[in-house]
Structures are given as structure tokens and as C-alpha cells.
């Protein structure tokens, strides 16, 4: 490995360490290097909401494991199961914004 490559490698490691320490300590951006914020941040989440007309009947968060996979072109399918057997399917095409 050339000296130049070694230097670049070391510099990248240093950049990663700076970013990691900065985040862990609450420094948000290099421009704020001397300042920091320490607080509980809020998790962004998506909820499934069930309405009867204008009345909210129920809401629950969509699990993070599902959110990680969710993309705009995906279809959201709400499927009714009875005794582990699939019944009616209700769905909404997120991209086309229409009922399936």
C-alpha cells in the first residue's frame, strides 16, 4: 500500500471517528462544533387509522420492521383472517391513491 493510500485510509478512519463521537456527544453539525444539544429525540412513526365516517375508531403504529420495507410503490393490503384462513381483502394502492 502506498503512503498516499495509507494516509487516505487513516483520514477516512479519522472522519468516521469524528462523526461517531460527534453524534454520540450530541454535536449535530461541524458548523456547531463547539455547541451541542442533549435531549430525548422522537421516533418518526406511521400509524394505521381506522375511521367510521369522520370518527376515529382505532389507531395503532405500523411495526418498525414493516416500515423499513415500505416504499411508495408498494400496496398496503388489509386482510381479514378467521381461524388462520384468509377472508376478505381490503387494500389501497399508495401510488395510484385508489382502492384496490
Nearer to other proteins, 14 or 80 (CB): 14
Binding site for other proteins (CB under 8 A): 7-8, 10-30, 32-45, 61, 63-65
**Distance in Å, CB of 83 to other proteins, minimum:** 25
State whether the Cα torsion 70-72-74-75 is positive or negative. positive
Are 36 and 25 in contact by the 8 Å Cβ rule? The answer is yes
d(CA 71, CA 95): 9
Are 59 and 49 in contact by the 8 Å Cβ rule? The answer is yes
**Distance in Å, CB of 67 to other proteins, minimum:** 8
Nearer to other proteins, 36 or 79 (CB): 36
Nearer to other proteins, 68 or 85 (CB): 68
Amino acid at each position: 500500500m502506498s503512503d498516499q493510500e495509507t494516509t487516505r485510509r487513516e483520514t477516512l478512519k479519522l472522519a468516521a471517528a469524528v462523526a461517531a463521537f460527534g453524534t454520540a456527544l450530541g454535536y449535530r453539525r461541524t458548523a456547531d462544533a463547539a455547541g451541542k444539544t442533549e435531549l430525548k429525540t422522537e421516533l418518526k412513526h406511521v400509524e394505521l387509522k381506522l375511521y367510521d365516517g369522520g370518527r376515529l375508531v382505532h389507531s395503532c403504529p405500523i411495526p418498525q420492521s414493516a416500515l423499513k420495507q415500505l416504499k411508495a410503490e408498494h400496496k398496503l393490503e388489509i386482510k381479514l383472517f378467521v381461524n388462520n384462513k384468509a377472508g376478505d381483502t381490503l387494500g389501497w394502492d399508495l401510488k395510484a391513491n385508489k382502492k384496490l
